[in-house]
Amino acid sequence: MLAVKTLSRIKAKSDARHLMRYLLSQAGTEIAEIAKRENVSVKTVKESIAEWERYAARNSEGQMQLAIRDMIITTTDRAKDTLDGLLKATTFIDVKQKNTGMTVSQEVEDKITRLEALKVYTGLLTASQPKVPQIVNNNSNTQQTAVLSSAETTEERMRRLKASAAQHNLLPPVVTGVPELIDKGFDPDDDDGEEDDDE
């Protein structure tokens, strides 16, 4: 059976070259080309690549998840005992007796340690809760979709404004700033002149 070399043994063999060979092969470079560049045998390059492939397989994402779960499972009992001990922590204070005047040590609850343990416990509870998706208001989403769908691009707006200007240019000319009576041909000063003639 072929013994798997540890990472420390790979490093002892100047692992930077071995890692570079592995990365080049992963990038698609032919093994013969790598061997030719470094002036080594194809067998040497294959051994370097095989070392790093074994290392990568041992340290894959799946292996990492298994290792983390194993660590949690094996240390859960000790963590529970530790947390339980912290939640029951006590300390000693010096208390002066009234009748004798002597100072004696008295065991009391260690509130500071217990509060810190309670924070840890609360953090564990929060982390263990399932992540609930946020509630989305469907009405607001519908309105936003309607607004977004009715939005126009800059080009569409320019086309719309040009079309509006072209329609406006087709309208008959109207003199602005002139009273409507005069624009229709009626001059109120003519009435004053007629009254002067009658006199």
User: 35, 45 in Cβ contact below 8 A?
Assistant: yes
Mean pLDDT in the chain?
Answer: 78
Amino acid at 142: T
Phi and psi of 93, rounded to 5°? -125, 155
Q: Has residue 30 got a pLDDT over 80? A: yes
**How far is the C-alpha of 82 from the C-alpha of 120, rounded, in Å?**
11
pLDDT tens sequence across 39-70 = 888 898 898 888 888 888 888 888 888 888 89
How many angstroms separate the Cα of 39 from the Cα of each of 8, 31, 33, 42, 44?
Answer: 25, 12, 10, 9, 10
Any idea which residue has 């298994």 for tokens? 66
User: What mean pLDDT is predicted for residues 125-138?
Assistant: 73
Q: Where are the domains of the chain?
A: 7-60, 70-126
What is the secondary structure of 123-182 as a DSSP string?
A: HHHHHHSPPPPPP--HHHHHHHHHHHHH---HHHHHHHHHHHHHHHHTSPP--TTS-HHH
Q: What is the mean pLDDT of residues 161-190?
A: 71
Q: Is the pLDDT score of 7 beyond 70?
A: no
Q: What per-residue confidence (pLDDT) applies to 199?
A: 47
How far is residue 54's CA from residue 197's CA, in Å, rounded to a whole number? Answer: 120
Sign of the Cα torsion 143, 146, 148, 154 reads negative
Give dist(CA 7, CA 55) in Å, integer. 7
- pLDDT, average across residues 165-179: 71
User: Phi and psi at residue 14, in whole multiples of 5°?
Assistant: 60, 65
In 3-state terms, what secondary structure has residue 95? strand
Tens digit of pLDDT for each residue in 8-21? 554 545 568 888 88
Q: How many CB atoms are located within 10 Å of the residue 52 CB?
A: 20
Comparison of pLDDT for 139 and 65, the residue scoring more: 65
pLDDT of 25 above 50: yes
